[in-house]
């Protein structure tokens, strides 16, 4: 899909945002089902938690191969391949006779999610002009958030009739719908000039190792910042429910307030992207991390549902302000040649951070207290803000 004409944000809605929304709904539908499936197959609570963690492991494993696939196959074919793999993995989840097979299937769901996400990221980077990139990628992140928010509700409705497997069936249906959309909806027209496509066709694709070596300076500076951003963001997903339980709130209330915090994120994703394009990336990512860090530090100080709700909303606002920011910065610093390969390495840093965040909270909680663990996650957000303030160009990268 390289060498295409630059197009507007909404013109790629059917080919990018709709499949993203559908895939997000599927991922949201199976999120609460995976641990339940592990328990039904005889796994312990700890084993169920490990199986859930394997979804993140799959994403990490898939990041670098995803870049290679997007270069060799093209973004759309890579998305179709990812959807085919996820359908096979979902069938395996439904038919799994043991926790071990379920675990393997979950890893492949994570890998396919990584390939699908990288392909969409590279697609938007190529298709959308630089001055609209923040809005385009924040919208991409927003559609994923909407899907993850709506998926559990749709899954619960189907599960009321089909049992635990209903969540997997929701993902199967929306994955098939996404395949239909990608096959039926035409790609944007190719650009009149050879441009980047000619560069890519001039020889064999660069190896992943060579691309990483060539851009090591960016990856060890901004990449580390992206890792810490991912860790802080992922920490909030365990901080809100665990502290709510600590306060003695019932699970339904905690779940509701967690959803309210997520709704706050969804409300501001497009304004956040607009601000990225108008004010620059640094002026958005730094306040986003400062607000997220502040909310994590304040959360252990709450002692009732009122203050808890207020901090959860602040956390949602801070995280929503940075919707799509890591994808956008990655696109800004990505090279014209072997772009998808570079983005695979870039996304690896963020996904490692996403995996590290909950582990950090668990480790500090075991060693000290839950409050100290959540505050530590806040400190990580402040460090991420400092690194991004230092390394992200003031007015955004040059396209």
Give the model confidence (pLDDT) of 334-357 as tens digits: 988 888 999 999 999 999 998 888
Name the least confident of 173-187, 252-266, 298-312: 252-266
pLDDT of residue 183: 93
The strand pairing partners of 4, in sequence order, are: 190
- Which pLDDT band holds residue 280 (cuts at 50, 70, 90)? very high
Distance CA 394, CA 384 (A): 16
pLDDT of residue 395: 57
Averaged pLDDT, 262-267: 88
Distance CA 100, CA 332 (A): 41
pLDDT(278) > 80 = yes
CA 201 to chain centre: 30
Name the least confident of 211-215, 274-278, 337-341: 337-341
Highest mean pLDDT among 139-143, 204-208, 382-386: 382-386
Structure token digits, residue 278: 């108008």
pLDDT(289) > 90 = yes
pLDDT(192) > 50 = no
CA 356 to chain centre: 14
pLDDT of residue 194: 33
Residues near 340 by beta carbon (within 8 Å), at least 6 away in sequence = 66, 67, 68, 70, 71, 75, 118, 119, 122
- HEC secondary structure over the chain: CCCECCCCCHHHHHHHHHHHHHHHHHHHHHCCHHHHHHHHCCCCHHHHHHHHHHHHHHHHHHHHHHHHHHHHHCHHHHHHHHHHHHHHHHHHHHHCCCHHHHHHHHHHHHHHHHHHHHHHHHHHHHHCCHHHHHHHHHHHHHHHHHHHHHHHHHHHHHHHHHCCCHHHHHHHHHHHHHHHHHHHCCCCCECCCCHHHHHHHCCCCCCHHHHHHHCHHHHHHHHHHHHHHHHHHHHHHHHHHHHHHHCCCCHHHHHHHHHHHHHHHHHCHHHHHHHHHHHCCHHHHHHHHHHHHHHHHHHHHCCCHHHHHHHHHHHHHHHHHCCCHHHHHHHHHCCCCCHHHHHHHHHHHHHHHHHHHHHHHHHHHHHCCHHHHHHHHHHHHHHHHHHHHHHCCCCCCCC
pLDDT(250) > 70 = yes
> Do the beta carbons of residue 261 and residue 240 sit within 8 Å?
yes
Distance CA 196, CA 330 (A): 18
Distance CA 164, CA 31 (A): 11
pLDDT(15) > 50 = yes
Distance CA 126, CA 145 (A): 22
Averaged pLDDT, 230-251: 88
Could you give all domains of the chain from N- to C-terminal order, each with its CATH number?
Answer: 1-202 (1.20.1250.20), 206-399 (1.20.1250.20)
> Do the beta carbons of residue 41 and residue 96 sit within 8 Å?
yes
pLDDT(160) > 90 = no
Question: Which of 109 and 189 is assigned the larger pLDDT?
Answer: 109
Of 200, 206, 273, 208, nearest to 4 by C-alpha is: 200
pLDDT of residue 7: 59
Share of the chain above pLDDT 90, in %: 55
Of 172, 191, 215, nearest to 346 by C-alpha is: 215
pLDDT of residue 50: 81
């Amino acid at each position: 899909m390289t060498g295409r004409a630059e197009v507007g944000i909404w013109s790629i809605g059917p080919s990018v945002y709709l499949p993203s929304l559908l895939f997000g709904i599927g991922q949201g539908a199976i999120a609460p089902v995976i641990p339940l499936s592990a328990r039904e197959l005889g796994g312990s609570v700890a084993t169920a938690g490990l199986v859930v963690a394997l979804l993140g492991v799959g994403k990490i494993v898939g990041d670098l191969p995803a870049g290679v696939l997007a270069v060799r196959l093209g973004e759309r074919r890579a998305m179709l391949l990812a959807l085919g793999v996820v359908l096979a993995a979902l069938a395996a989840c439904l038919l799994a006779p043991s926790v071990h097979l379920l675990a393997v299937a979950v890893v492949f769901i994570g890998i396919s999610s990584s390939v699908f996400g990288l392909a969409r990221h590279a697609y938007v980077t190529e298709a959308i002009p630089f001055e609209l990139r923040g809005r385009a990628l924040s919208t991409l992140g927003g559609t994923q958030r909407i899907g993850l928010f709506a998926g559990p509700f749709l899954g619960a409705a189907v599960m009321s009739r089909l049992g635990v497997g209903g969540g997997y069936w929701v993902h199967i249906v929306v994955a098939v719908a996404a395949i239909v959309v990608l096959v039926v909806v035409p790609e944007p027209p190719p650009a009149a000039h050879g441009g980047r496509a000619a560069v890519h066709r001039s020889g064999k694709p660069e190896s992943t190792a060579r691309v990483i070596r060539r851009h090591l300076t960016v990856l060890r500076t901004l990449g580390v910042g992206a890792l810490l951003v991912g860790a802080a963001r992922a920490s909030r997903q365990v901080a809100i429910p665990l502290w709510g339980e600590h306060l003695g709130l019932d699970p339904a209330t905690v779940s509701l307030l967690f959803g309210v915090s997520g709704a706050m994120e969804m409300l501001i994703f497009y304004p956040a992207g607009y601000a990225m394009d108008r004010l620059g990336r640094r002026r958005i990512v730094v306040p986003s991390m400062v607000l997220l860090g502040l909310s994590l530090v304040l959360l252990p100080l709450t002692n009732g549902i009122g203050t808890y709700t207020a901090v959860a909303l602040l956390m949602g606002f801070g995280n929503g302000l940075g919707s799509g920011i890591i994808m956008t910065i990655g696109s800004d610093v990505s090279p014209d040649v072997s772009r998808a390969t570079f983005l695979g390495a870039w996304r690896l840093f963020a996904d490692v951070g996403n995996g590290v965040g909950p582990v950090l909270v668990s480790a500090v909680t075991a060693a000290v207290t839950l409050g100290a663990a959540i505050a530590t996650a806040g400190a990580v957000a402040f460090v991420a803000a400092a690194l991004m303030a230092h390394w992200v160009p003031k007015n955004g990268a040059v396209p």
